Structure 1
Amino acid sequence: MTKHPLGLSIVLLLLLGPGLHADDSVGPYIGTLKSTEAHLLYSPGKEAVTLRLTVHDEQGTKVATVDSRSESEHDFVAKFHVVGLTAGTTYRYQIEKIEAGGATLVAGGTADFHFTTVPADRSGQVLNVAFISCVNDSTDSVWQQMANHNLDLLCLGGDTPYADTGNLTDLRNKHRHLLQRPRLAVLGKSVPFVGTWDDHDFGLNNANGKNAAALKTNTRRAFVEYRVQDQYGSGDEGIYQKADRGAMEVFLLDARWYSQTGPSPVSPNQSTCYGNEQWKWLLESLRSSEAPFKVLLHGQIWQDKKNRETDDMHTYYAERDALLNFIKDERIPGVVLVGGDIHVSRYLVHPQRVGYDLHDFIISPGHTSVIPSLNVYHQDLEWSRVQPNQFLIMTADTSKTVPTLSVKFLDKDGQENLVKTITYYQLTAQPETGIAKDLRGYWSFDGDTKNRSQLGSRLDGQLNGGATVSNQHGTCGGALQLSRSDSQYLTVPRSMLDDNASVYTVSGWIKPAWLPVHGSADRSFIMESNVTNHCELPNASRSGYAISVGLRACGDAEKINLQLFTETLVPQPVGSERSPSTKSQGGFDCLLDRSLFSGWTHVTVTFDSMRLQLFVNGKLARTHPLPIHGPIAETGGLVIGGHRAGEGRNFDGMIDEVAIWNRVLSASEIDAIYNNGTVVALLSGL
């Protein structure tokens, strides 16, 4: 029987199975695309040859040719950079091997090998971008599912691949193996892909720029060889870059290369994550971005993992919060966050964090291994899913009058597990002036317990133990009425302050019917924040009292102690490679005449990470320097008329006009609230 060479090749492919190649070729893969440029990658296998990329328009006219060499110096990977193209145009391409005898087609040449340049106009687009992290051979079914979603860009969010080595040969083999997965290769010939790294493709678990310093040169070299982008960090350092696709710009951040290598550009007493050069690039790029939607992507998550590892942005909270404050202060619209790493998919909403709600998506794992223990409490968590083979698709639609961003959590079967649609208007800061600026919670108690800040019903109060609200008897209308003997109090179920907020102000009126008795150990709490664990997940703090205002007896029979506590983060020094710890600070005492509380008394507390200040009836009564400076620790909801456990040490009497700001009010603003008797008198537009 005569054996045909083509038939033999087919038989070999079948015998080798879908995970292996009959040759050692890679690609072709499309990388960074711009309006008039394209970057492509191809390796013919372990041979040094000249390769020619030819690009045709849809009418078959040749528009460009680029030659490149697959040299051993770069593991036989050839890169092609095509210029002079037309924006928003689809092109076909092919790659030939150039030898003395002529040209031999090695890839492309058919309709499924194509790319489309970025349109010149950001409006009128429907752009589909996929995000994934944590992949291995068990991700094959996900690549296959992605092919059903008309993708315009694929973003690899780290642990792609699991290298876990600094050996250059091993690194190259693992990168090559990933790009040889047949179902990923099908995507790569027409869907551009870009990526960043996380700890495992940076060399080892929990890797940072300090503990993996000896591996960095090789891990970066292999990464650069097997990605085809227009930027890889700055010079020979880092791998950060951005992909501007018109309707959306994706900022692929490098949270590994510079981490722990020196002081932070925003806090010289803490370690950096991004490093000085990347920090400058990121701020300048965000400020100049014209894309309606902007995605900040890196491998690690933006919160605390709550395990023994330190590769999360909670460890670098100074830079994280400085970045988010920059977005807020510069009024940059359309920003969302994406992270990976933890083998759990999660969705968080940080209320009004950047002048609008900040949506935070964690997409992991793309493979089949999950880590349930990392699905932990966070004050802003809205949804989570501990399942394998997950990926995310964002669709930016700028063809509508008000552009929208639709986000879908999907799995290998195409099941839509969570779908969120956010309008551009919802990702745009609205003007806030005067006393309304950064007002996060406001309960007037005029006949109900509704929150009257822009955070709305999320913060509506819940009466406990038979507590009531009147339509009269308050400072300017109704009031919350509480009986200590009946253990009455009010709870607010969700957070109102930023995660690890560096500032806050809390204000309210109180009219006690009872004060702690002189000589007793009695305490009566006006309010205290707490961790509600609304999501009923592990590793929630049992304290959370960043806000704590209460009354207790003191040594003077004529006075009462208006006492404050707070709970803050304790920053770690440069190079420590540790996460911040927490510290309870207080009690801070202020002795006031008992007679002061015979009627309505206005109490305000401000916090600025360095001190607590207490104002009584509009005037500064006491300044309490904090022994350790730091933003607040983990918190959640609020108890009004009780301490964080609710029952016990309850307030007796009436409380009215409670308000919380995510900023420090000025002395004149506090005095104005006192003189007007109510916050609402000073508000406009609420």
Structure 2
Amino acid sequence: MDRRLFVRLGLMAAAAPLFPKSLLASSVSDRLNVLSEEPLRRIAFGSCNDQTKNQSHWSWIARENPQLWIWLGDNIYADRATLDQRRDRYQSLKNNPDYKKFIDQVPVIGTWDDHDYYNENADGSYADKDGSKELMLEFMDTAWDHPVWARPGVFQSYGFGPVGQRTQIILLDLRYFQDRNKNQKSLLGELQWQFLEDEIRSSTADLILIGSSLNVCSPVVFASLEGWQAFPAEKQRLYNLLASIDKPCVLMSGDRHMGELYRIILPNGKPVYEVMASGLTHAIGIKLPSKERQGEPVGRKHFGLINIDWTSSGPDVQLRLQSAERSEVYHSLATNFAF
């Protein structure tokens, strides 16, 4: 067990008899607990946020009145920073007036990617990944009693809403366990795969959202451009898992500094959608070949938005890529998940 985690768990145990659980939980956790009882109708998410750049996009996101914000990685840029330097960069974002106002209104969950984890395309060989994990979870104001503290990596699962209107959000960790040096390359690692398979197969949700910091559906990877396509066995394992259940699934991703919408049809006929929102503070428009992409890539600063209408036989879901600079929707894709 990591020393920091040991100390944290010890402090929790010592404090538990003195303080009610509600006092140990952060205000963010309190709001997440309240939100867990409500149907999710509007979720905002994004990635690639350079903390040194203008942060006025938070006001544009707030105008959409999201119930929840999901970080999908590169939440700050701290390449090859020491832990103290990375802590300072996280804190500089939390001190930013635009972001501070936003998180005072909207609860936050999320995962990481390479630039906030450690460095460009970093994998599980990073020596101080447990220290980096602690900084990320503290940045998210993750409650001390959340199970993510007690296991390696930052993968998490959350449930929101009552039966018939229930959304499950699973956030993956594509850095902590990644190993590109084996003959059989590893992206999630078996511990995380077991978690993911257990969560999905036992899910009572009516809609499953999976957050992946890396693009899933694109068939293109090269040089420093990462994606699940570089791990074909694991990509197929994910598709097989999604095909094995009769629940609707949407993938959320980031990393590539562009926005894209995808629709894939699994061999059993099940549709799966991906919305990649990647470019809160900087984005580029590169059109890579993909028969599953819906519409054109977005090369301007943007965020993702998922609107859910629970009034029909299955959840009506609208996926949107929206400007982070003005009131404009770049792309929108709507579907009814009636199974």
TM class, shorter-length: 0.7 to 0.9
Match of 2:50 among 136, 147, 151: 136
Deviation at 1:82, TM superposition (A): 9.6
- Aligned counterpart, 1:46: none
Q: Distance in 2 between matches of 1:203 and 1:311?
A: 16
- Aligned counterpart, 1:602: none
Q: Distance in 2 between matches of 1:294 and 1:424?
A: 11
- Aligned counterpart, 2:211: 297
- Aligned counterpart, 1:160: 75
Q: For residue 307 of structure 2, give the secondary structure of its aligned residue in structure 1.
A: strand
- Aligned counterpart, 2:26: 80
Q: Which has the higher strand share?
A: 1
Q: Distance in 2 between matches of 1:316 and 1:259?
A: 10
Moved over 6 A (4+): none
The answer for unaligned runs of 5 or more in structure 1 is 1-63, 69-78, 86-113, 264-268, 429-686
Cα deviation digits, residues 101-159 of structure 1 (max 9, x gap): xxxxxxxxxxxxx7771364x7xx45110010001244522210111112110001100
Indicate if the aligned counterparts of 1:249 and 1:295 stay in contact, CA closer than 8 A: yes
Q: For residue 262 of structure 2, give the secondary structure of its aligned residue in structure 1.
A: strand
Deviation at 1:254, TM superposition (A): 0.2
Deviation at 1:214, TM superposition (A): 2.1
CA gap of 1:424–1:372, structure 2 versus 1, over 3 A, is closer
Q: Distance in 1 between matches of 2:167 and 2:59?
A: 24
- Aligned counterpart, 1:257: 176
User: Does residue 379 of structure 1 match 2:291?
Assistant: yes
- Aligned counterpart, 1:552: none
Indicate if the aligned counterparts of 2:263 and 2:273 stay in contact, CA closer than 8 A: yes
Q: Distance in 2 between matches of 1:227 and 1:313?
A: 25
Partner amino acid for 2:276? I
CA gap of 1:65–1:257, structure 2 versus 1, over 3 A, is closer
Q: Distance in 1 between matches of 2:112 and 2:135?
A: 12
Query: Bigger relative contact order, structure 1 or 2, given CA contacts below 8 A and separation 6+?
Result: 2
CA gap of 1:168–1:292, structure 2 versus 1, over 3 A, is same
Partner amino acid for 2:210? L
Cα deviation digits, residues 438-492 of structure 1 (max 9, x gap): xxxxxxxxxxxxxxxxxxxxxxxxxxxxxxxxxxxxxxxxxxxxxxxxxxxxxxx
Indicate if the aligned counterparts of 1:345 and 1:362 stay in contact, CA closer than 8 A: yes
Deviation at 1:252, TM superposition (A): 0.8
User: Does residue 117 of structure 1 match 2:38?
Assistant: no
Cα deviation digits, residues 193-242 of structure 1 (max 9, x gap): 011001101111111113xx224133212112222335464735100102
Indicate if the aligned counterparts of 1:179 and 1:185 stay in contact, CA closer than 8 A: yes
Cα deviation digits, residues 611-657 of structure 1 (max 9, x gap): xxxxxxxxxxxxxxxxxxxxxxxxxxxxxxxxxxxxxxxxxxxxxxx
Q: Distance in 2 between matches of 1:364 and 1:82?
A: 24
- Aligned counterpart, 1:186: 101
- Aligned counterpart, 2:278: 364
For 1:50-69, list aligned pairs within 5 A. Answer: 66-67=22-23
- Aligned counterpart, 1:59: none
Q: Distance in 2 between matches of 1:133 and 1:397?
A: 25
Cα deviation digits, residues 316-347 of structure 1 (max 9, x gap): 11111112112212x23111111111111111
Q: For residue 372 of structure 1, give the secondary structure of its aligned residue in structure 2.
A: coil
- Aligned counterpart, 1:419: 332
Match of 2:319 among 399, 407, 430: 407
- Further displaced range: 133-142 or 336-345: 133-142
Q: For residue 55 of structure 2, give the secondary structure of its aligned residue in structure 1.
A: helix
CA gap of 1:311–1:235, structure 2 versus 1, over 3 A, is farther
CA gap of 1:65–1:287, structure 2 versus 1, over 3 A, is closer
Q: Distance in 1 between matches of 2:142 and 2:36?
A: 18
User: Does residue 352 of structure 1 match 2:266?
Assistant: yes
Indicate if the aligned counterparts of 2:275 and 2:319 stay in contact, CA closer than 8 A: no
Partner amino acid for 1:250? I
CA gap of 1:152–1:260, structure 2 versus 1, over 3 A, is same
Q: Distance in 1 between matches of 2:267 and 2:295?
A: 18
- Aligned counterpart, 1:175: 90
Q: For residue 214 of structure 1, give the secondary structure of its aligned residue in structure 2.
A: coil
Deviation at 1:421, TM superposition (A): 1.4
Q: For residue 296 of structure 2, give the secondary structure of its aligned residue in structure 1.
A: strand
Deviation at 1:360, TM superposition (A): 1.4
- Aligned counterpart, 1:239: 154
CA gap of 1:115–1:218, structure 2 versus 1, over 3 A, is closer
Indicate if the aligned counterparts of 2:174 and 2:188 stay in contact, CA closer than 8 A: yes
For 1:2-21, list aligned pairs within 5 A. Answer: none
Q: Distance in 2 between matches of 1:397 and 1:424?
A: 11
- Aligned counterpart, 2:302: 390
- Aligned counterpart, 1:317: 232
The two structures, once aligned, show a CA RMSD in angstroms of 2.7
Indicate if the aligned counterparts of 1:175 and 1:226 stay in contact, CA closer than 8 A: yes
Deviation at 1:294, TM superposition (A): 0.9
Partner amino acid for 2:283? V
Cα deviation digits, residues 222-268 of structure 1 (max 9, x gap): 112222335464735100102222232211100110000786xxxxx
Q: Distance in 1 between matches of 2:34 and 2:23?
A: 20
TM-score of the aligned structures, taking structure 2 as reference length: 0.83
Partner amino acid for 2:284? I
- Aligned counterpart, 1:335: 249
Partner amino acid for 1:342? R
Q: Distance in 2 between matches of 1:380 and 1:193?
A: 30
Q: Distance in 2 between matches of 1:135 and 1:354?
A: 38
Q: Distance in 2 between matches of 1:186 and 1:194?
A: 16
- Aligned counterpart, 1:222: 135
Deviation at 1:357, TM superposition (A): 1.6
Indicate if the aligned counterparts of 2:259 and 2:277 stay in contact, CA closer than 8 A: yes
- Aligned counterpart, 2:197: 283
- Aligned counterpart, 1:47: none
For 1:482-561, list aligned pairs within 5 A. Answer: none
Q: Which has the higher helix share?
A: 2
CA gap of 1:310–1:418, structure 2 versus 1, over 3 A, is closer
Indicate if the aligned counterparts of 2:212 and 2:252 stay in contact, CA closer than 8 A: yes
Partner amino acid for 1:189? D
How high is the sequence identity, in percent, across the aligned residues? 22
Q: Distance in 2 between matches of 1:115 and 1:411?
A: 26
Indicate if the aligned counterparts of 1:115 and 1:191 stay in contact, CA closer than 8 A: no
Partner amino acid for 2:302? Q
CA gap of 1:310–1:173, structure 2 versus 1, over 3 A, is same
